[in-house]
Amino acid sequence: MNQVFAVKFGGTSLADAAQFERVTNIIRADGRRRYIIASAPGKRFDGDEKVTDILIQCFNKRDDAAAFDALFAKAAERFISIRDGLKLKTDIEAQLDIIRKNISKGAGYDYLASRGEYLNGLLLADLLNAEFVDASELIFFTESGSLDSKKTYRKINTRLSGDGVYVIPGFYGVLPDGTVKTFPRGGSDITGSVIARGAQVCLYENWTDVSGIKMADPRIIPEALTIKSITYRELRELSYMGANVLHEEAVFPVREMGIPINVKNTNMPDEPGTMITENGSDPSKHTITGLAGRMDFTVILLDKALMNNEIGFARKLLSIFERHRIPVEHMPTGIDSISVVVDSSYLPDSKLEIILEEIKKELEPDTVGVVRDIALIAIVGRGMQNRFGTSGEIMMELGRAGININLLNQSINEMSIIIGVHNRDCHRTLRVIYELFVGDGGSGAE
């Protein structure tokens, strides 16, 4: 691995001229910060708009000249004010003309949505006196839209082999025919990870507007502590359940090479942030690393005497969901019972009826029950391994709080416990569990 860093700055870190200055100071403070990935300008204050959102609205109005012009001018103004505020020379107007022409010639949604990153990258390279390398030279997708990792990593490795500082716009790459294609929203995190991997850096820094990943969603638990060290695996479990500081797909490219990710705050650069690694450093004193919850699941519960002797029962059940292209989240089982947990958005009432009919016909269960409005809470922590009584403590505490647990699932590696409660109890459950482990007198209070 090379002793250099890939460094990604999110939208709020590059939202205006003052933020660009902070970013420049951060980059200059450590000569190892050599591969810089830029997002589009984000929100400057509550209620402000992200440039990517404006560009998307713009594309949707491309057949309404007046509306298109007004929106395009709004986006343009953001870049012009950054350029002028920093007294840079980049000819933004000429770039905007090219974008306009390309749109009138039929350039697509992804092209326009990605221009925020492109223009911000040009401005940042100008400010840093660094080399701008368009993502279309580095990030390649296959015909079917997945990352062509072989080609991409090879190209990154050769194209970025100099010893200067490179600025690369995040969020997009190109299809085999050269058309721009974006990653999912928030995808500059993925670009950062792909560049980190291709350039074989020793650290991927992800700079945002919070000082790392919190143990719980701060909108629900405002005093939630910052996680100092988390493993890729724990993070995956938390992101899947809705913790969203880092795009969930951003973990895979760096994880394969064991490159740590450090999530840091542009507005408080001295704070250590959160370090994401394969094994983590000392586990949290709080037993758990973090917890997250997601609402709106449906549980379908089947009972059938001697089910466990019936070979292929689970496969037949799952194949019904597969046929309807419905992903199954969990499948807790008992001796003569099995339940399937599904994201409710895949199961409107009409669909649910069809599924239940097929289950009855094909599996002949004794009873079938449905519970709607279930929230799943993931309690995650490598500190739970080999520690006795954690799930017992959780159940007792929830019982004391009068919260009914509909489902409980502990992973074999004891790294996560998933519990299902009614949607209405979701936030209270998170709070009770947080208090249990972290609050005054919690099992692992510092």
Which residues here bind ligand ASP, judged by CB under 6 A?
Answer: 11, 39-40, 50, 52, 116, 170-171, 185-189
At its nearest, how many Å lie between ligand ASP and the CB of residue 55? 9
How many whole angstroms from its chain centre is CA 50?
Answer: 17
For 323, 336, 355, the CA distances from 364, given in Å and listed in that order, are 18, 13, 13
Nearer residue to ligand ASP within complex by CB, 185 or 285:
185
Nearer residue to ligand ASP within complex by CB, 145 or 348:
145
Nearer residue to ligand ASP within complex by CB, 119 or 128:
119
At its nearest, how many Å lie between ligand ASP and the CB of residue 24? 19
Give the separation between CA 395 and CA 365, rounded to whole angstroms: 30
Q: What angle do CA 124, 129, 134 make, to 5 degrees?
A: 55
Residues 289, 382 contacting (CB under 8 angstroms): yes
Q: What angle do CA 29, 35, 40 make, to 5 degrees?
A: 95
At its nearest, how many Å lie between ligand ASP and the CB of residue 294? 20
How many CB atoms sit inside 10 A of residue 377's CB? 24
- DSSP type of residue 382: G
> Which DSSP string do the residues of 383-402 spell out, in sequence order?
GGTT-TTHHHHHHHHHHHTT
At its nearest, how many Å lie between ligand ASP and the CB of residue 296? 23
At its nearest, how many Å lie between ligand ASP and the CB of residue 185? 4
The candidate with the shortest Cα–Cα distance to 253, out of 200, 194, 203, is 194
Nearer residue to ligand ASP within complex by CB, 40 or 320:
40
Nearer residue to ligand ASP within complex by CB, 10 or 420:
10
User: What tokens appear for 129 in the block?
Assistant: 């006196």
Nearer residue to ligand ASP within complex by CB, 239 or 289:
239
At its nearest, how many Å lie between ligand ASP and the CB of residue 138? 16
Beta partners for 35?
A: 6, 166
Nearer residue to ligand ASP within complex by CB, 77 or 278:
77
Nearer residue to ligand ASP within complex by CB, 9 or 232:
9
- DSSP type of residue 268: S
At its nearest, how many Å lie between ligand ASP and the CB of residue 150? 24
At its nearest, how many Å lie between ligand ASP and the CB of residue 379? 29
Give the separation between CA 204 and CA 189, rounded to whole angstroms: 10
User: What tokens appear for 84 in the block?
Assistant: 């002028």
Q: Which residue is nearest to ligand ASP (CB)?
A: 188
Residue identified by tokens 């997009």 is: 172
At its nearest, how many Å lie between ligand ASP and the CB of residue 267? 17
Give the separation between CA 204 and CA 5, rounded to whole angstroms: 6
Nearer residue to ligand ASP within complex by CB, 11 or 381:
11
At its nearest, how many Å lie between ligand ASP and the CB of residue 227? 21
At its nearest, how many Å lie between ligand ASP and the CB of residue 366? 49
- DSSP type of residue 106: T
> Which DSSP string do the residues of 313-376 spell out, in sequence order?
HHHHHHHHHHHTT----B--B-SSEEEEEEEGGG--HHHHHHHHHHHHHHH--SEEEEEEEEEE
Nearer residue to ligand ASP within complex by CB, 77 or 364:
77
Beta partners for 341?
A: 299, 330
Question: Exposed (0-12), middle (13-18) or buried (19+): which is 164, by Cβ within 10 Å?
Answer: exposed
Nearer residue to ligand ASP within complex by CB, 141 or 437:
141
- DSSP type of residue 285: T
